[in-house]
Amino acid sequence: MLLKGTVHMRNQMTRWDGADLYWSELRPSEGGRIVVCRRAAGGTVADVTPQGFNARSRVHEYGGGHYAVKDGTVFFTNYKDQRLYRQDAGGEPRAITPEADIRHADMLVDKKRGRVIAVREDHTTGAHEPVNTIVSVDAEGRGEAITLASGNDFYSSPRLSPDGGRIAWQTWNHPHMPWDASEIWIGELDSEGRVSSRRKVAGGRNESVLQPEWSPSGELYFVSDRNDWWNLYRARGEGDEPVCRRAAEFGAPQWVFGQRFYDFNGSDEIVCVFSETGGSKLGRLDLNTGDLQQIELLYTTLANVQVAHGKAVMFASSATLAERVLVVDLATLAQEVVKVANAAHIESGYFSVPRPIEYPTENGKTAHAFYYPPRNQDHDAPAGEKPPLVVHCHGGPTGSGGPTYPFEYQYWTSRGFALVDVNYGGSSGHGRSYRQRLNGNWGVVDVDDCINAARHLVGQGLADSERVSITGGSAGGFTVLLSLTKRDFYNAGASHYGIGDLELFIKETHKFEAHYCDTLLGPYPERRDVYLDRSAIYFADRLSCPVVLFQGLEDKVVPPSQAETFVAVCKEKKLPYAYVPFEGEQHGFRKDTTIRRAMEGELFFLSQVFGFRAADDIEPLEIENFEPRRGVGERI
């Protein structure tokens, strides 16, 4: 039973425009196109983005923050040409920025001045890397853009004060990532909308700050991890004060633009999403008393909350409920599901409900993961047989796993596999100090924590020690390749657009991550020895088991050369491998055909390595230099 259906949304953006509700969907069935959708106040739902347009930004390559809306007019970045488009209600999109490689994201509408404020990434300057700024563009496309903030390497989150007289933004510089060290600034605007003066409000070299927001009365709020957890603060006078101190995360790493973790419900209350062990929660924070009250929901993953007219909208999902656009009436707490990402009905007897686990790892520390047991109401394992295990390591590496509705996980568990989604040291969701475990230790701590998660489950009798596979994408693929070459533990592995050569990665990758490894490994070339020691291609001859590599051929973050270099070593040394490239795919697969082929291909690969016959009708995948085991039953 293949878990079928078209996955939409995937935590894009929600926005209110008066009583009209907007959100964006990722549509694999349309080649991975992102579409802005609208539900009118009367209830009618329709696509806003017409065919031929893809509302997706390439700023930082990961994008996000790809549209803004005001009074029925939508401004969006089109993927193909990266121009900023204006689309009036009922009209066709028209470009308002030049025809050049000048990209925009994180837009907001300055209605008072008839302008659109955005983060700009200019690839036309001739500099060794693109130039990032915050600009103000005429909403009709007339004249030149006005630069509001410049001189730093990165910018995000421009926010206008309610009276339009001030603007706040976030900024950071190489070699830092925004979750390591960033700052929030305020600029005073003159009548033409130019910044006349500016000052830093918060942040520094040992503090991550994010999402500046103005309250209805004009006070600036923001999120900071200065006390280990991303908590809410507000600027007061020349300083600031905490609004709610809690051992919980009111933020997350800014891999994409446009994330919103809180919003104001009038002048006295904030509605917020915060994460604790076990998942995300929705809260309402009394700004007078600092009391945080949880709103009970059936969901464990929440994202992108926005409030208007006493209603909060967000993306919501759980282990058994597909992602949906959810509206909560803050007066009655009534809930309304506006749109479900995947309407396919799946019987509860096929659902594996995860549970959070903690387990011992190296140096006397504790690591975190979510364990998904095998689950299929039509089949029972033979008496005494333990299930094979898939160890999943997320990307980032500052990402995180959570109790969400991942079809790919249920794909495995419904076929008799157990799966563990590892939040290794360095993952977000457990405070700053937990994230910093990976500093200087990428390729060590993540590898150890993944292996120890598997050992923990094997030791509890929940997995077969002879059938353990590791899988992951991007930074997770890096962990896969290093685990298979520098450790002799796994029986199989799958790398999805993973990094195999760190020197090649830092020389070819984009600006946003150009110095990410300075923190994770050390400065280059001064610590070239570390880069070589953590690059799997130099240890490919130690490959302890078969590996399959899936790679998008248009990937600008982890270029195909990464996979191809590793494959070349396997070919030369006659090591067991399979390589599956995909035309037209970038970093993170978006097409339904690709997603399905990668999932089925990995299952077929494991069926050959573990010696069973998959029940699905799957296109075969050839594993070079490998003789598969034969004749072990029809399924696990």
Regarding predicted confidence, which is higher, 357 or 348? 357
Q: What token pair was written down for 367?
A: 């690591």
> HSE (CB half, 13 Å, CA atoms) of 57?
32
Q: What is the mean pLDDT of the chain?
A: 93
Mean pLDDT, residues 518-538: 96
Q: Which helix (H) or strand (E) holds 204?
A: strand 195-204
* Residue 399 backbone class (left: φ over 0; alpha: ψ -120 to 50; beta: rest): beta
Percent of the chain with pLDDT over 70: 97
**Of the given ranges (7-16, 304-313, 368-377), which has the lowest mean pLDDT?**
7-16
Mean pLDDT, residues 197-203: 97
Distance from the Cα of residue 82 to its chain's centroid: 21
Q: What token pair was written down for 492?
A: 């199989």
Question: What whole-number distance in Å separates Cα of residue 196 and Cα of residue 487?
Answer: 58
Please report the pLDDT score of residue 615 as a whole number.
79
DSSP letters of 529-577? HHHHHT-GGGGGGG--S-EEEEEETT-SSS-HHHHHHHHHHHHHHT--E
Residue 634 has pLDDT above 60, yes or no: no
Question: What whole-number distance in Å separates Cα of residue 493 and Cα of residue 472?
Answer: 9
Regarding predicted confidence, which is higher, 409 or 406? 409
Q: What are phi and psi of 221, to 5 degrees?
A: -115, 160
Three-class secondary structure of residue 609 per DSSP: helix
In terms of Cα–Cα distance, which of 418, 361, 416 is closest to 391?
A: 418
> HSE (CB half, 13 Å, CA atoms) of 211?
28
Three-class secondary structure of residue 363 per DSSP: helix
Residue 4 has pLDDT above 70, yes or no: no
pLDDT in tens, 96-118: 999 999 999 999 999 999 999 99
CA separation (Å) from 282 to 438, 454, 612?
A: 29, 32, 44
Please report the pLDDT score of residue 340 as a whole number.
92
Please report the pLDDT score of residue 6 as a whole number.
35
Domain 14-340: CATH architecture, name and number where available? 7 Propeller (2.130)
Domain 352-610: CATH architecture, name and number where available? 3-Layer(aba) Sandwich (3.40)
At residue 632 the predicted structure's pLDDT band, cuts being 50, 70 and 90, is: very low
β partners of residue 357:
369
- Looking at residue 404, its amino acid is T
Helix-strand-coil percent breakdown of the chain, rounded to 5? Answer: 15, 35, 45
Burial class (CB in 10 A: 0-12, 13-18, 19+), 152: middle
pLDDT in tens, 259-297: 999 999 999 999 999 998 878 999 999 999 999 999 999
Question: What whole-number distance in Å separates Cα of residue 222 and Cα of residue 201?
Answer: 10
For 413-524, list the strands marked E by DSSP: 418-423, 468-473, 492-496
Question: What whole-number distance in Å separates Cα of residue 199 and Cα of residue 451?
Answer: 47
Please report the pLDDT score of residue 11 as a whole number.
60
Please report the pLDDT score of residue 191 as a whole number.
87
Mean pLDDT, residues 551-571: 90
Please report the pLDDT score of residue 63 as a whole number.
94
Full-model pTM: 0.91
What lies within 8 Å, CB to CB, of 151 at 6+ separation is none
Question: What whole-number distance in Å separates Cα of residue 545 and Cα of residue 447?
Answer: 16
User: How do the domains of the chain map onto residue ranges?
Assistant: 14-340, 352-610
Angle between helices 445-459 and 475-486 (to 10 degrees): 70
Please report the pLDDT score of residue 629 as a whole number.
65
Please report the pLDDT score of residue 630 as a whole number.
58
Please report the pLDDT score of residue 378 as a whole number.
87
Task: Give the β-pairing of 146-149 and 131-138.
Answer: antiparallel
At residue 251 the predicted structure's pLDDT band, cuts being 50, 70 and 90, is: very high
Residue 74 has pLDDT above 60, yes or no: yes
At residue 587 the predicted structure's pLDDT band, cuts being 50, 70 and 90, is: confident
For 287-340, list the strands marked E by DSSP: 292-295, 301-308, 311-317, 324-329, 335-340
- Looking at residue 345, its amino acid is H
Starting at the edge strand that comes first in sequence, how are the strands of the sheet with 115-122 ordered?
102-110, 115-122, 131-138, 146-149
CB-based burial, 212-236: b 16+ in 10 Å, e otherwise:
bbbbeeebbbbbbbbeebbbbbbbe
Please report the pLDDT score of residue 110 as a whole number.
97
At residue 9 the predicted structure's pLDDT band, cuts being 50, 70 and 90, is: very low
Please report the pLDDT score of residue 10 as a whole number.
58
Question: Angle at the Cα of 467 (from 623 to 538), degrees rounded to 5?
Answer: 55
Three-class secondary structure of residue 437 per DSSP: helix
Percent of the chain with pLDDT over 90: 83
Residue 322 has pLDDT above 90, yes or no: no
At residue 8 the predicted structure's pLDDT band, cuts being 50, 70 and 90, is: very low
Query: 3-class secondary structure for 238-279?
Result: CEEEEEECCCCECCCCCCCECCCCEEECCCCEEEEEEEECCE
Residue 15 has pLDDT above 90, yes or no: yes
Three-class secondary structure of residue 433 per DSSP: helix
Residue 589 has pLDDT above 80, yes or no: yes
Q: What token pair was written down for 151?
A: 């001189």
CA separation (Å) from 596 to 60, 555, 560, 600, 602?
A: 27, 19, 20, 6, 10
Question: What whole-number distance in Å separates Cα of residue 599 and Cα of residue 422?
Answer: 19
At residue 93 the predicted structure's pLDDT band, cuts being 50, 70 and 90, is: very high
